[in-house]
Amino acid sequence: MLSSIDNKNWGNCQKKKQSRMVNVDCYERIFGQSQIPSDKQYWSMCGKSGQSTRKEEGNLPYLIKGCELDQMLEKEFIVPSQFHGVEIRESIFDANQNVKGVNWYRDDFLLAMRKYDSSQFNPAFINLDTIYMPQKAAAYMGKVLYLLAYRNIRNVMVSLNIVLKCCMSKSHNENEIIKWMYKDHRVRSACKKAEQDGCLIEMFKDKGGDFFVYNGTGRNSGTIMQTIIFYRRQGNVSIL
């Protein structure tokens, strides 16, 4: 079961904000839209987004300034009702519920999506903000791609954050997650189902062929993170 990091400054960190803007930019470049369609959803491992005391004015006074939801609203990428935030920790979930007009779930992220009414499940964007190393991240991504394939979700982008290096651990790179994904039977099944549906699953890279790499959120953090983008859209060729 995937838990959040219990860090009140995690969502408001400048590095995380930059990472999210990369996601928005990638979505626009893939689908040609600066905001997600009105009939689609934004799903996220959201962390702490709400607070128990009113600190802001306006329609969402309990929303934490600079958190993911706040950032996406300010960018006009979504409206509040499109945001589906999942958090496993009870205290954080309770605080998030103070922010009204938004969809909050206390659950494992993948389970929350599986439980959601299949006839209404229609994500445009999924933010897998994990703290997994490549092998475990590949397995988790395989489960998500499999779910999207068998719900026949089209035109959806998935952003996966992984740990390339943590403290004294061995350094990793994106080639390792690609290698593990090739081996995952769910990824292979998802790609086969995509072909049957007239869709494709692709991995998005920047013009220079790079992924977004950034240091961990701590001031002196030795952690190196990376954002990898996948998307499933209408088409007939898969690169995976």
Can you tell me whether residue 52 is helix, strand or coil? coil
Domain-located, residue 6: no
Residue with tokens 């998030």: 96
Domain-located, residue 4: no
Domain-located, residue 2: no
**Digitized pLDDT (tens) for each residue of the chain, 240 residues in all:** 443 334 444 445 677 788 889 899 999 999 999 999 999 999 999 989 999 888 766 778 899 999 999 999 999 999 999 999 999 999 999 999 999 999 999 999 999 999 999 999 999 999 999 988 888 989 999 999 999 999 999 999 999 988 887 766 667 777 788 888 889 999 999 999 998 999 888 888 766 556 677 666 555 457 788 888 999 998 654 433
* CB 46 within 8 Å of CB 96: yes
Counting the structural domains of the chain, the total is 1
pLDDT at residue number 12 = 54
Range of the domain at 222: 14-234
Q: Give whole-number Cα distances, 82 to 7, 23, 49, 103, 120, in Å.
A: 25, 16, 15, 8, 12
Domain-located, residue 140: yes
Domain-located, residue 3: no
* CB 146 within 8 Å of CB 201: no
Burial class (CB in 10 A: 0-12, 13-18, 19+), 189: middle
What does the alpha-carbon distance between residue 123 and residue 157 come to, in Å, rounded to a whole number? 8
DSSP state of 230: E
Q: Going by DSSP bridges, is the β-strand pair 123-132/41-45 parallel, antiparallel, or unpaired?
A: parallel
Burial class (CB in 10 A: 0-12, 13-18, 19+), 55: exposed
Q: Going by DSSP bridges, is the β-strand pair 83-87/103-106 parallel, antiparallel, or unpaired?
A: parallel
pTM of the model: 0.87
State the Cα angle at 226 between 153 and 160, rounded to 5°.
15
CATH number, domain at 146?
3.40.50
What does the alpha-carbon distance between residue 214 and residue 165 come to, in Å, rounded to a whole number? 11
